[in-house]
Amino acid sequence: MNSNLQSQSKYTKRDILTSPFNENSCKILLLGSGELGREVIIQAQRLGMATVAVDRYENAPAQQVAHKSHTIDMLDGDAVRHVVELEKPSAIVCEIEAINLDMLMQLEKEGWPVRPNAEAVWITMNRERSRDMIAKKAGVQTSKYTYVDTEDSAAFKDAVEKIGYPCISKAIMSSSGHGSYFIKTHKDIEPARLIALKDARGSGTRAIIEEYIDFDTEVTELAVRHLDENGKIVTSFPRPIGHYQIDGDYHASWQSPNVAEYLPWKPQDIGAKFKPDEDLAKKAEKKIYEAAEKITGALGGLGVFGVELFVKVEDGKVRVLGNECSPRPHDTGMVTFMSHMIGMNEGALHLRAICGLPVPARINEDGYRVIDPIMPASSHVIKAASGGWDPEFSGIWNAGNMQGVNVYLFGKPNVPYEPDSPNEVHRRLGIVLATGRDALDAKKKAETSAHKIDMRTRQFEEWVSQDNTLDARKKHILKS
């Protein structure tokens, strides 16, 4: 290992950067090269760092912009070691959980700098370990829950009835809504069990059954664990991000310098169902930071963590409950590509933290380090409407011909699908970002623009609108 790598394994501040092809350059190796990792790569290149993107398929989004790329099975420990020893990175950055964790932990023991750390990836890739960490180790309140073997139909039924209706089942080994099912009545039990079995990542055969919380809003807190001026690990907090999911997968998100626009309720409810309440918004924000600090403190390491939380108002009091946590930038956090200044979005914050670079923040009245957005903004997904290779998009002119709107396409080369159901696909292919007078105005603009875009693939040549994607056919926040 070179001295550059050794110093980073000890969590030291970085004060020297070079060009990417210098022998002492800071080199970022990304394990998983999706759209979130692509932004990390772009931010690294803005600082003259060398970048290497690894994924299981060719031409993944981050591979398209990195200096070098490798395509391997990341569950193959020997393949992971080969790439690490070949590239000798200054930081190994985990963008996904589907990595051979035994090898990741071994590499970390040998001194290779895994970020945020191997244990955090191990915990968060599994909903059982993650929920126990949140509820027991971090001590953050959650919904009621229990675990069950999905191969045992009788035990699955008993677990559901123990939690009560309605409830939610989720495969332990899954993410982005895969393997999840909303159970309203006993008729949903068997479909939920089969979905948890079918969509689990790898060979997982366990599920978590969770109490359904009728929350007022759902947020992501992008807690940033980084080094301060004295080399001490501290946590800084971008303002909470409101978001909306369909079947457990992100569909839209929003953020504003004025959190009272969307806390402690959904932005479309403030001014309609509820009067804006600065006091409740501040209380919610404080409790969000408190919960996120406990959860990320339990995981340790350096970097951005996407902490998903529920916010509930009862009898004039705010409750914040823990849901999940990812050890990396979060899909809902892509709104920061617009709401934050260049060099301070979630990808840039992750890069700064893992590389020992400064993360400037102000200290608020409650003593928390806060990173303020510069404008209200929102993101809205562009989803696949059909499966196949070589996706194409039309309506780009109309979608982008509005002040304060940007269209981002991720460049994914294909949309996997089942031959008997080519329109039952979930893949996210891009986002629309918008600014506005406030969070609600930005959210409306982002959705309106996103729904002007049609898509097709080589195998299915008919143009299909965003109104006919699987998600939009089910439910939509501004059309409901």
State the SS3 of 89-105. Answer: CCEEEECCCCCCHHHHH
pLDDT one-digit tens code per residue, 28-81 = 999 999 999 999 999 999 999 999 999 999 999 999 999 999 999 999 999 999
Residue 3 in this model has a pLDDT that exceeds 50 = no
φ and ψ at residue 245, rounded to 5 degrees: -120, 155
Which of 113-127, 169-183, 280-294, 402-416 is predicted least confidently? 169-183
* Residue 120: other Cβ atoms inside 10 A: 27
Q: For residue 450, which phi and psi values (nearest 5 degrees)?
A: -60, -35
Rounded to a whole number, what is the distance in angstroms from the first to the last CA of the chain? Answer: 56
Indicate the pLDDT class of residue 6, thresholds 50, 70 and 90.
Answer: very low
CA dist 39 and 37 (Å) reads: 5
Residue with tokens 């294909």: 414
Residues 224-231, mean pLDDT to the nearest whole number: 97
In a 13 Å sphere around the CA of 306, the CA atoms on its Cβ side amount to 26
User: For the chain, what is the radius of gyration of the CA atoms?
Assistant: 22
What is the distance between the alpha carbons of residues 180 and 427, in angstroms, rounded to a whole number? 16
pLDDT at 248: 76
Residue 476 pLDDT exceeds 90? no
- For range 382-396, the mean pLDDT: 96
- In a 13 Å sphere around the CA of 340, the CA atoms on its Cβ side amount to 24
For residues 380-403, average pLDDT:
96
Write down all domains in the chain, each with its CATH number in brackets: 3-115 (3.40.50.20), 144-211 (3.30.1490.20), 217-375 (3.30.470.20), 378-474 (3.30.470.20)
pLDDT surpassing 90 at residue 7: no
In the chain, pLDDT over 90 holds for what percent of residues?
A: 84
Give the pLDDT of residue 205: 85
Q: Give the C-alpha separation, 461 to 478, whole Å.
A: 29
> Is the Cβ–Cβ distance between 257 and 376 less than 8 Å?
yes
Q: What pLDDT, on the 0 to 100 scale, is given for residue 5? A: 47
- Tokens representing 321 are 């409950």
Catalytic positions: 175, 177, 308, 324, 331-332, 428
Higher per-residue confidence, 235 vs 206: 235
Residues of the chain with pLDDT > 70: what percent? 94
pLDDT of residue 415: 96
Question: In Å, how far from its chain's centre is CA 390?
Answer: 25
Q: What is the largest CA-CA distance in the chain?
A: 63
> Residue 203: what pLDDT?
53
pLDDT at position 176: 60
Question: What pLDDT sits at residue 262?
Answer: 95
- Tell me, what's the pLDDT at 32? 97
Closest CA to 451 of 385, 375, 370, 363: 385
What are the pLDDT digits (tens) for 288-339?
999 999 999 999 999 999 999 999 999 999 999 999 999 999 999 999 999 9
Q: Among all chains, which residue has been given the structure tokens 């804006």?
A: 276
**pLDDT of the residue at 8:** 42
For 398-437, the three-class secondary structure string (H helix, E strand, C coil) is HHHCCCCEEEEECCCCEECCECCECCCCCCEEEEEEEECC
Give the mean model confidence (pLDDT) for residues 242-263.
Answer: 93
* 3-class secondary structure per residue, 49-92: CEEEEEECCCCCCCCCCCCEEEECCCCCHHHHHHHHHHHCCCEE
Task: Over range 152-158, report the average pLDDT.
Answer: 95
CA dist 106 → 83, 103, 436, 461 (Å) = 14, 5, 48, 47
User: Looking at residue 201, what is its pLDDT?
Assistant: 60
Q: Which pLDDT does position 478 carry in this prediction? A: 54
Average the pLDDT over 189-196 and give the result.
Answer: 93
**Section 382-411 average pLDDT:** 96
In the predicted model, what is the mean pLDDT of residues 77-92?
Answer: 98
Whole-angstrom distance, CA of residue 173 vs CA of residue 122: 11
Locate 209 and state its tokens.
Answer: 């059954």
Buried b (16+ CB within 10 A) or exposed e, 338-367: bbbeeebbbbbbbbbbbbbbebebeeeeee
Query: Two tokens at 149?
Result: 């073997």
The predicted model scores a pTM of 0.93
Mention every residue, 6+ apart, whose C-beta is less than 8 A from residue 106: 77
- What's the mean pLDDT in 165-187? 86
pLDDT at 341 over 50: yes
